[in-house]
Amino acid sequence: MPIIYERQSEAIKQSEGTKMKPEEFANEAELQQIVAQYPDLLMADDEPSVELVTRELELPGAGVVDVVLVDSQGLPIVVEVKLARNTEVRRQVMAQVFDYVSALTLMTVDELNNAVDGALRAAMGSFAGNSDAEKHLDKLWQACGANLRSGQARVVVAVDGAPEDLIRIIRFINDHSDLDVRLVAIRKYAHADEGTIFVPSLLVHGRKRPPPPPPEKLAPEFEAVLAAYARIAPKGLEARGGGATVRTIRPEAWPESIHYEFLDRRDDIGVEIHLEGDDVKEVAQVLRVYEEPMQRAIPSARVEWDPRWWKNRGRLKILYPRSPSPEIIASGMKQLIEQTHKDIDRALSQSSTAK
């Protein structure tokens, strides 16, 4: 049945009704585009606002997620789009729901942000406003990290119509598991002159969301390492940030896409250099040769060059067990900086000159 929307005519000072006819989506890509453009279609009026992070995100071992969102409380949301005329809708969706949640919640907030080229942090920034923006962004960052670590993520299945057995199965998942799966039907109505209206229906709300987990505090060992480094940090190379598991060090002249990093990996503590953009990819040739000499210089740690990091741009990792004194790990960062800083500066300069 068509829907009617009412508009006021200035000419005759009366209401006019326009008949909007239901229209099918051309394909799943069209519905995906609408969801990405208007993500509020998936949310109830009293729920936190949402922002688009990315479309078509590949999760290792789980396939490609159609749309990734984040809400204003740091909850990650993945959206799978299906049309009712897709005869595989029920079987595909059920398998993908489990795959997506398991793969997403194995990632840290930094890894997820890296996978989307910084778009997660940018989306969170839109919630921050102007007052104390950095502090608010830091709080959201920690909340998203805590949600991922505790397995808190929402899956939204967006369809144009749903068979009863799909509704029944998604209700069963929510009632008998810890998963939060929402089913939303979006109908399209069009008029040649008046444009298009999209009408959402919340078919399955999903699990009632528990209160967001409190931001995690720094682990004592990690906090001690940061304190030890603060005592010996070269001027301008102090560790910055407010996350529970990460602190970055970036020389002022370096681009945003390269930095040193302390990373609490639970089993060990990383002293690392990360390359996170095409503008610094030439630096990989410099860093990869440090793997063997740094391993010889620091036999108590495990040194690795990871060529697959951030879409094959690379990172150098020195992984310390949690048992050494904080001073040993802190001095490892200082040693890494002293060994690599000048070579990286030179590589960045040559890369800039070549361009």
For the segment 148-202, what is each residue's pLDDT rounded down to a tens digit? 888 889 999 999 988 888 899 899 988 888 889 999 999 998 877 777 889 999 9
Q: Give CA–CA dist 78/97, Å, rounded.
A: 9
Q: Which residues contact 27 (CB under 8 A, 6 or more apart)?
A: 83
Low-confidence residues of the chain: pLDDT under 50:
1-2, 5-9, 12
CA pair distance 342, 264, nearest whole angstrom: 26
Residue 14: predicted pLDDT: 53
State the pairing for strand pair 246-249/195-204.
unpaired
For residue 206, what pLDDT is reported? 86
**Buried b / exposed e along 269-293 (16+ C-beta atoms within 10 A):** bbbbbbbbbebbbebbebbeebeee
Max Cα distance, the chain (Å): 87
- Alpha-carbon Rg for the chain in angstroms: 25
pLDDT score at 195:
79
> How confident is the model at residue 63, as a pLDDT?
86
In contact, 185 and 161? CB cutoff 8 Å: yes
Coil vs helix vs strand at 195: strand
Query: Hey, what domains does the chain have and what are their CATH numbers?
Result: 3-204 (3.40.1350.10), 220-354 (3.30.1460)
Question: Could you give the residue ranges of the DSSP H alpha helices within 68-163?
Answer: 89-104, 109-115, 119-128, 133-149
pTM to 2 decimal places: 0.66
Q: Are 332 and 301 contacting, i.e. CB atoms less than 8 angstroms apart?
A: yes
Collect all residues with Cβ–Cβ distance below 8 Å to 189 and sequence separation of at least 6: 2, 3, 20, 21, 22, 23, 196, 197, 198, 199
Question: What pLDDT was estimated at residue 249?
Answer: 94
| pLDDT score at 8 | 45
Q: Is residue 161 within 8 Å of residue 84, measured between CB atoms?
A: yes
pLDDT at 342: 94
Contact status, residue 51 vs residue 128, Cβ threshold 8 Å: no
